[in-house]
């Protein structure tokens, strides 16, 4: 009699190799974070991903060196100038808009590849990720925020604004358990 299922013995060797590969992959991802002192949440110990403490970006900006501030500021100003002029020139000077747009994107790309300042890295070291305070309230469980609600919408559980209503309510029953 043929049947589907458990006739073949499990391939323990293959399973062990899979597990080892998985562990090596995990280590490859986590090692650089650990070496930098950045958070590596451990789901088995229920360590939270998001810290209740927030990152004060204004204070970080004020603490930057003149060189760091200049490198960031020049690119930020470039975005404002070229972004603003690209739209203003659009109807009367399309060639200028084209060039402004190219500069805008060059500034954006350059800003995205600047290294994170060392003082910011120092402020981010710890057991859980600190989210910039100027984002406003953030759900410590799922990371949703005022302009990034959960699918279907959510609100705050209470006035502390650290857990959203989706995370606060129990998970819905499986469809199978509904008898009709
Ligand atoms: Zn949530
Ligand atoms: Zn939410």
Question: 140 lies in a domain?
Answer: yes
Question: 143 lies in a domain?
Answer: yes
Q: Which range marks the domain in which residue 159 is found?
A: 136-172
Residue 15 has a CB neighbour count (10 Å cut-off) of 10
Q: Which of 51, 78, 71, 52 is nearest to 117 (CA)?
A: 71
Question: 166 lies in a domain?
Answer: yes
Please give the pLDDT value at position 129: 96
How far, in Å, is the centroid of ligand 1 from the Cα of 56?
22
Q: Phi/psi at 36 (nearest 5 deg)?
A: -85, 0
CA distance linking residue 21 with residue 30, whole number of Å: 14
Please give the pLDDT value at position 174: 60
pLDDT digits (tens, 9 = 90+) for 10-36: 889 999 999 888 888 888 989 999 999
Question: 106 lies in a domain?
Answer: no
How far, in Å, is the centroid of ligand 2 from the Cα of 148?
8
Which segments in the chain show pLDDT lower than 50?
Answer: 177, 180
How far, in Å, is the centroid of ligand 1 from the Cα of 164?
4
Question: 151 lies in a domain?
Answer: yes
Question: Looking at the 3D structure of the chain, how many domains does it have?
Answer: 1
Question: 65 lies in a domain?
Answer: no
The model scores a pTM over 0.85: no
How far, in Å, is the centroid of ligand 2 from the Cα of 162?
10
Please give the pLDDT value at position 5: 54
How far, in Å, is the centroid of ligand 1 from the Cα of 176?
25
How far, in Å, is the centroid of ligand 1 from the Cα of 86?
39
Question: 26 lies in a domain?
Answer: no
pLDDT digits (tens, 9 = 90+) for 79-91: 999 999 999 999 9
Question: 99 lies in a domain?
Answer: no
The single-letter DSSP state of residue 138 is B
User: What region does 93 belong to: left with phi over 0, alpha with psi -120 to 50, or beta?
Assistant: beta
Please give the pLDDT value at position 27: 87
Residue 164's DSSP bridge partners are: 156
Please give the pLDDT value at position 48: 86
How far, in Å, is the centroid of ligand 2 from the Cα of 34?
29
């Amino acid at each position: 009699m043929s049947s589907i299922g458990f006739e073949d013995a499990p391939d323990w060797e293959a399973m062990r190799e899979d597990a080892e590969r998985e562990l090596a992959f995990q280590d490859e991802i986590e090692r650089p974070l650990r070496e930098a002192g950045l958070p590596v949440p451990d789901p088995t110990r229920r360590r939270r991903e998001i810290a209740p403490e927030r990152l004060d970006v204004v204070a970080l900006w004020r603490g930057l060196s003149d060189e760091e501030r200049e490198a960031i500021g020049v690119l930020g100003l470039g975005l404002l100038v070229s972004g603003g002029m690209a739209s203003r020139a659009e109807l009367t000077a399309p060639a200028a808009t084209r060039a402004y747009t190219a500069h805008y994107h060059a500034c954006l790309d350059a800003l995205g590849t600047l290294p994170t300042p060392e003082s910011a890295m120092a402020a981010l070291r710890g057991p859980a990720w600190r989210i910039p305070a100027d984002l406003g309230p953030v759900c410590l469980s799922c990371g949703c925020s005022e302009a990034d609600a959960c699918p279907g919408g959510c609100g705050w559980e209470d006035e502390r604004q650290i857990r959203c209503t989706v995370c606060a309510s129990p998970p819905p029953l499986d469809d199978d358990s509904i008898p009709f």
